[in-house]
Structure 1
Amino acid sequence: MKNRMSITAKYITALAALLLIAVLFFPMWKIELSAPQYPEGLELRIYPHKLGGDVEVVNGLNHYIGMRTLHTRDFVEFIVLPWIFGILSFFGLLSIVINRRWFMLLWAGFFFLFAIVAMVDFYRWEYNYGHNLDPAAPIQVPGMSYQPPLIGFKQLLNFGAYSIPDTGGWIFIAAGLLIAYAAFNEIRNIRKPSPKMALAISCALLFCLASCNNGPQPIKFNTDVCDHCKMTITDPKFGGELITKKGKIYRFDDVQCLSGFIQAGDAKKDEIGKIYLLDYNNKGILLDASTCTLLKSNELRSPMGGDLAAFGSTESAAAQQKIFNGILTSWNEIQK
């Protein structure tokens, strides 16, 4: 009896195996491209068996910068992936029939090995795709590569590239979480973890959570361009950042530009994650817009005439108010 799977593990394994079959019917990954000339954006969708989305448009753009054109027939992965998902699903169900804990754990190990190999292979493809360029391409930028991000956002010339799991990818992740949960419980049934082991696992989880940072990123002054007025950001006392819930970052050289960007609908309010403003007293430091105090004064002379400065405390803002003869306000107030 000790070597048999628990009832909970059986149900979870069955659900995970069925989810692996469901993955075959949805795109697993997508790369979104945004640029001024494509206001609605472009999408490249990666299914287990084919490429989808705006493939032809992307291929047309690739020609100009020397990147390879994309065709389903060029990827052996699209032949083997459906088989791998089918085999993984079959052996998951087989582990329930055999009803042996060791078989289920072996299956879980192969699943996670496949997940790691798949991500490494995807990164390798992205690297080759972005670095192996045609030397005779019409547009050439010395030292420039066009490797898409493995996950998250990356700026590629005037295109913003955002890479994220699609529906099939989220289903695959859900299956992985279920398998991990079932395997963890089966291992725990074999041997209860010691207090030291439990503490180590807890610390590792806390470290992973702390590493998932969606906070502000330093602005590169005299290099970064304002996403609203398209001027180079030069003054470290004014401006800020808007970070979407997906992690995409927009930078601005003036609080007025940031506010105008939102009011123009360039960033939908339900997609906005966090907003940060540059600290007037500490050059280059970004403050949470919801907690800082703003000073409005025509004497501040900010780059685009917004004449708004942010401070980390009401006291520091009041001290500058005596110099610039302005009024104290907040981010929420100027958005009304």
Structure 2
Amino acid sequence: MRSDDPILEVQGLEVGFPIRKGLFQRPVAEVKAVNGVSFSVPRGSAFGLVGESGCGKTTVARAVLQLVEPTAGRVLFDGQDVARMDAAALQRFRGKVQAVFQDPFSSLNPRMSTGRILSEPMRVHGMTPGPGIKAEVRRLLDICGLPARFADLYPHEMSGGQRQRVGIARALAMNPELIVCDEAVSALDVSIQAQVVNLLEELQKELGLTYLFIGHDLSVVRHLCDEVAVMYLGRIAETAPSDRLFAHPRHPYTQALIDAVPNPDPDFEAGREIEPLEGEVPNPADPPSGCFFHPRCRLATDHCRQEAPPLGQISSGHLAACWETGAITSTNHHSRDANENTGRQR
């Protein structure tokens, strides 16, 4: 059940990676993959991070999971700073926060059967007595829609969708409170995507899970997530409740992403006129001055080129980092219907 209390808070998060050159590989510059990102995820909700490849959304997920060390900012889980946890608290944190990765094949050990894959975290953390492990494996397979015989199968003997269900079952083995889904359905066929998204939605309702969902398929994000943050070049460009973001985008980058979503209505597609984004994503090692998006923005002014806009409030819960937000209007009037048609398929 959703609560207003945040289970996860990210405050001013920065993650940089050094650029090294020379014989001794001395650092000469730094790439800021994440640059001042802040958001909170209420307990029992699904929070989406979207954006083009290289925008920093996966690095945010890795920082939340403590797989990379932030250079600045804080990650709070249940009000506790994860970076300041001692060894015992960090082990409890790793049990409560689990991940489902993009590639369902490389994320599973090819030399281990499904039964061993699911039982290993239980043994490591001492959660389930020996005799109860097999029963728990069968339970996990059942709630993820797989028959008990899959406990004896190896990853190469399963399809991509089945492997991803095993990945979800492995995440559930620790009875987590937060699951980070890093492009969890992007490697699957469209019909299988819908099945896995429906599974995630059912598990959230049954188990009271919270999701941090990383993705680039806006129809999937629109369907699953309660709130969405749009990232560009390491920063958040816009964040809002999902329905409001897709119905009334206020940042030109958000609008461009929504305009790129195909509409199943051929008459609408034939008559639609959109202005595609021009240019390439800037080099994160040498970002442009002012607003990072201004080299590709049709509304950019001298003010945009000189000064970076803050993430300002448009309305309650709706924030955008754009000097020209008052001029942004929706050109894709049917974007909400398009996402509902494509994202809610069963």
Q: TM-score range by the shorter chain?
A: under 0.3
Per chain length, whose mean CA-contact separation is higher, i.e. which structure has more relative contact order (CA < 8 Å, sep 6+)?
2
Q: TM-score, normalised by structure 2?
A: 0.20
Q: TM-score, normalised by structure 1?
A: 0.20
Structure with higher strand content: 2
Structure with higher helix content: 1
